[in-house]
Amino acid sequence: MELQDYLKNVVQDIDLMIIRYFGHPYGPLQEASAHLLSAGGKRLRPAVCLLSADAVKEGSSFDVAPAALALELIHTFTLIHDDIMDHDAERRGVPTVHTLWDESTAILAGDVLYARAFEFLCRTPAPDNARVRAVTLLADTCNDICEGQYLDMSYEVRDDVTEVEYLDMVRKKTGALYAASAAIGAIMAGGKPMQVDALFQFGMSAGIAFQIQDDLIDLMAPSSVSGKDRASDIRQGKQTLVSIKAREAGIDLTPYRKTLSDPEMDALIARLETAGVIAEVREAAENILEHGRSVLTILPGSDERRLLFELGEYFVTRGS
Amino acid sequence: MELQDYLKNVVQDIDLMIIRYFGHPYGPLQEASAHLLSAGGKRLRPAVCLLSADAVKEGSSFDVAPAALALELIHTFTLIHDDIMDHDAERRGVPTVHTLWDESTAILAGDVLYARAFEFLCRTPAPDNARVRAVTLLADTCNDICEGQYLDMSYEVRDDVTEVEYLDMVRKKTGALYAASAAIGAIMAGGKPMQVDALFQFGMSAGIAFQIQDDLIDLMAPSSVSGKDRASDIRQGKQTLVSIKAREAGIDLTPYRKTLSDPEMDALIARLETAGVIAEVREAAENILEHGRSVLTILPGSDERRLLFELGEYFVTRGS
């Protein structure tokens, strides 16, 4: 099967579950909880979860779809809360929850999805010990995600963030949930501890690489691809691998903290390319991904292993 | 053992766990998460959890203390998020988290405790199936608490809330977590399904009665007892059983939506007492509690069952 077909199937399956369980909200709060969830999305964390389960299962296995949905619920809850903190008015082409309702409702809407994620983990028809391990890992992951978001916000008022600090933040903010997605898929499907560990490491690496590519997309891609204003990271003074490596190359991005015209933007990109910054950032993402893919070789050869490899490749090439 | 001695022991045990697990925060976010948790509190939900476990256990049993802590963590997370929504500046004699840090940190601090509650449930040394049932129940409870807080806020702009609507809100906002505290204690200790159900119903009734008494304390007690401004509910136009029964008795509380002098307050209370409103509210709380205590009779007679009875009594008499 082609990766794009697999991903399309996942989107269909997850969207159907979302319609079934969240499509008939019984009041304004449940409606607010369902709003962003129902606004589409690539459902990449569920895809990682389902592929990981299929990559380790032997013979008949358990249906891990409820666990895959749980990971999308956690992702969505963090987006709803992050949008409040970042004062973002739009996401996935629709107004954010706190814009359409209010901040109090958005806090509660996120809290509802948070709860329902743990509910769906427990609904997964897997052995009890697998479900307890999955809940423990997801709880630990949520703690990491909060830490990551906190670090990301605290970096905005600094201009001396190091690469190590940046990678620590990205590991928590984005890597942890991809790592948990892969590991929870494997745990629920009855994977052996070594397989669960390998998939956790793969998810972590792929997630970090995904975020670095996201930063590149923000800089390079037109708004129509990124879904955001072009170079919003640079305008807001966000610390990314691009800004860190630019600083190391002697390029001061501070004067660019304003709305840039397209020609100004093109000149900046040309300057970063000439200094080798873009190539270095790309290489960093590829190296991190490569580490994750190398540990995957302990899994038996299968279509699903190949698709995980290709999914990693997609993470660092999308939008370019 | 006397109830007050039992409650003192619980406070000591829970406070020690809080020092152990939250007393050495490794960064500002963890510090913000620990702030309200470390500011004291009566630890009544852990007490209900521990008493319920002891009331059903046979012979040697599991240590349910981590689960008891989990319930306090959920309670504290909801307080941190509620304080943001209600713009409250003080709680338990200390500044609220969003006042001392900021709203973003307070949202994340609540989210961290939310995650750690599920972590501590899974850390409880009980059989896996008990832990899965406890996680499922707690997730469902968190959904209820969010609904309850949403209803409470939405009632503030209405003056036609019925007793049925009020009780539905209180059931979700306060009753559900007491019900879960009792049921989770019983589940973790290996209680039989009938015992778990009875303790759930007792916790629910006791929690609703607790909230009704809380509303009475707000009206009747001096600030030194309630820890809040006297009659803040009436000033804010909150819908409580007092305001609903006052309306039924033909007393319009709208003119009292302002800061009242002590003589004005005393006159209002005298008016409500003469009309029988206070007595009706007290009777409602006692009837609800009595229903909960009647189902407890299916438990074997024990010191713990007696203490649960007395704890219920304390819920509807405290502060008066």
B105: domain CATH number is 1.10.600.10
A139/B116 CB distance under 8 A: yes
The residue of chain A with its CA nearest to that of B124 is: A132
Give yes or no for A100 touching B (CB within 8 A).
no
Chain B, 101 to 130: residues with Cβ < 8 Å from chain A are 103-105, 107-108, 110-112, 114-119, 121-123, 127-129
User: Smallest CA–CA separation between A68 and chain B, in Å?
Assistant: 17
ipTM over 0.90: yes
Convert B245-265 to b/e letters by CB count within 10 Å (16 or more is b): bbbeeebebeebeeebeeeeb
Question: What values do phi and psi take at A86, rounded to 5?
Answer: -90, 0
Looking up tokens 């079934």 gives: A20
Give yes or no for B158 touching A (CB within 8 A).
no
Owning domain of residue B100: 3-317
User: Smallest CA–CA separation between A122 and chain B, in Å?
Assistant: 6
To test the contact with chain B by mutation, choose from A98, A135, A172, A177 the residue with the greatest count of B C-beta atoms within 10 A, namely A135
User: Smallest CA–CA separation between B316 and chain A, in Å?
Assistant: 29
Closest Cβ opposite residue A135 in set B28, B129, B135: B135
Mean pLDDT of B248-263: 88
Give yes or no for A165 touching B (CB within 8 A).
no
Q: Output the pLDDT for position B303.
A: 94
Q: Output the pLDDT for position B264.
A: 87
Question: What values do phi and psi take at B95, rounded to 5?
Answer: -60, 145
**Confidence label for B260 from pLDDT (cuts 50, 70 and 90):** confident
DSSP chain B: --HHHHHHHHHHHHHHHHHHHHSS-SSHHHHHHHHHHTT----HHHHHHHHHHHHH--SS----HHHHHHHHHHHHHHHHHHHHHHT--EETTEE-HHHHS-HHHHHHHHHHHHHHHHHHHHHS-S-HHHHHHHHHHHHHHHHHHHHHHHHHHHHTT-S---HHHHHHHHIIIIIHHHHHHHHHHHHHTT--HHHHHHHHHHHHHHHHHHHHHHHHHHHHS-HHHHSS-TTHHHHHT---HHHHHHHHTT---GGG-SPPPHHHHHHHHHHHHHTTHHHHHHHHHHHHHHHHHHHGGGSPP-HHHHHHHHHHHHHHHTT-
The residue of chain A with its CA nearest to that of B26 is: A147
Work out how many domains chain B is built from and give that number: 1
Question: What are the pLDDT digits (tens) for A4-40?
Answer: 999 999 999 999 999 999 999 999 999 999 999 999 9
User: Smallest CA–CA separation between A143 and chain B, in Å?
Assistant: 5
| Amino acid at site B300 | P
A146/B119 CB distance under 8 A: no
User: Smallest CA–CA separation between B116 and chain A, in Å?
Assistant: 6
Question: What are the pLDDT digits (tens) for B273-307?
Answer: 999 999 999 999 999 999 999 999 999 999 999 99
Intervals of chain A under pLDDT 70: 59-61, 223-229, 320
B112/A149 CB distance under 8 A: no
User: Smallest CA–CA separation between A35 and chain B, in Å?
Assistant: 16
**Confidence label for B20 from pLDDT (cuts 50, 70 and 90):** very high
The residue of chain A with its CA nearest to that of B149 is: A108
Convert A71-93 to b/e letters by CB count within 10 Å (16 or more is b): bbbbbbbbbbbbbbbbebeebbe
Name chain B contacts of A117, Cβ cutoff 8 Å. Answer: 139
Question: What are the pLDDT digits (tens) for B124-181?
Answer: 999 999 999 999 999 999 999 999 999 999 998 898 999 999 999 999 999 999 999 9
Q: Output the pLDDT for position A233.
A: 85
> CB neighbours (10 Å) of residue B23?
13
Give yes or no for B132 touching A (CB within 8 A).
yes
B116/A147 CB distance under 8 A: no
Q: Output the pLDDT for position A60.
A: 60
Question: What are the pLDDT digits (tens) for B181-236?
Answer: 999 999 999 999 999 999 999 999 999 999 999 999 988 887 666 666 677 888 88
